């Protein structure tokens, strides 16, 4: 169960794209959960054999709801500021695609009944807010899962997920900072592209 939680969370945090006209922070999360349930219902065996179809479903649901550029800026931190536009674009795409491949198996275990989106307590007149939820595990325990969101012109977008107080983007920032220091940003991007199966023209 925890693997499927991580899978959905990872996808929530690092997808990319445009915005849907969903008018409340909670609605962004709730609609994602509902759409996952609908798309996976009765298709788990089929999608376990057809990875491309699974990736397309994940993309269709998550792409309109997340600020991947902002998440990438946080993950790369100071390395973002010194990266070229090409490096930035490649990193956004490679990072998301690598995560998608890594966690796609867990998506197939997704159970919407394990997620409870709590009543919204934030201030949606501010630039940023947080949607809180709990996730029930197989042993009966619950973990807190918070979605950090930013308000753009067209609506609310997720840019980070915090599990039991641990920020995913900030964890990745620490990991990749060490790797970049030990090699280079280009080397890290190339590794992610290899993991994601992205072919880069010579």
Give residue-wise pLDDT tens across range 61-106. Answer: 777 787 889 989 999 999 999 999 999 999 999 888 887 777 776 7
pLDDT tens column, 24-53: 898 888 888 888 888 888 898 999 899 889
pTM of the full predicted structure?
0.79
DSSP bridge partners of 66: 158
Domain ranges for the chain: 2-196
Beta-bridge mates of residue 130: 148
Residue 109's pLDDT is 75
Evaluate the CA torsion angle 56, 85, 168, 183 in order and state its sign.
positive
- Give the dihedral sign, CA 109/92/71/65: negative
| The CATH fold of domain 2-196 | Nuclear Transport Factor 2; Chain: A, (3.10.450)
3-state secondary structure of 53: helix
Range with the largest mean pLDDT of 46-50, 154-158, 184-188 = 184-188
Beta strands in the chain (DSSP E): 115-117, 128-136, 142-152, 155-163, 166-167
pLDDT tier, 4 (very low <50, low <70, confident <90, very high otherwise): low
- Between CA 161 and CA 153 the distance in angstroms is 21
């Amino acid at each position: 169960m925890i693997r499927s939680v991580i899978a959905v969370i990872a996808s929530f945090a690092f997808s990319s794209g445009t915005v849907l006209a969903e008018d409340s922070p909670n609605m962004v999360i709730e609609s994602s959960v509902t759409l996952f349930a609908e798309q996976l219902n009765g298709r788990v065996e089929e999608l376990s054999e057809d990875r491309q179809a699974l990736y397309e479903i994940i993309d269709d649901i998550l792409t309109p709801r997340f600020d991947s550029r902002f998440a990438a800026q946080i993950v790369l931190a100071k390395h973002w500021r010194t990266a070229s536009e090409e490096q930035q674009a490649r990193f956004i795409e490679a990072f998301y695609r690598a995560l998608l491949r890594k966690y796609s198996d867990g998506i197939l275990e997704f159970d919407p009944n394990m997620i409870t989106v709590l009543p919204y307590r934030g201030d949606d007149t501010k630039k940023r807010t947080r949607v809180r939820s709990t996730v029930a595990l197989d042993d009966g325990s619950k973990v807190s899962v918070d979605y950090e969101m930013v308000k753009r012109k067209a609506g609310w977008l997720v840019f980070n997920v915090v599990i039991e107080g641990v920020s995913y983007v900030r964890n990745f920032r620490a990991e990749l900072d060490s790797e970049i220091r030990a090699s280079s940003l280009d080397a890290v991007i190339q590794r992610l592209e290899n993991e994601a199966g992205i072919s880069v023209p010579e």
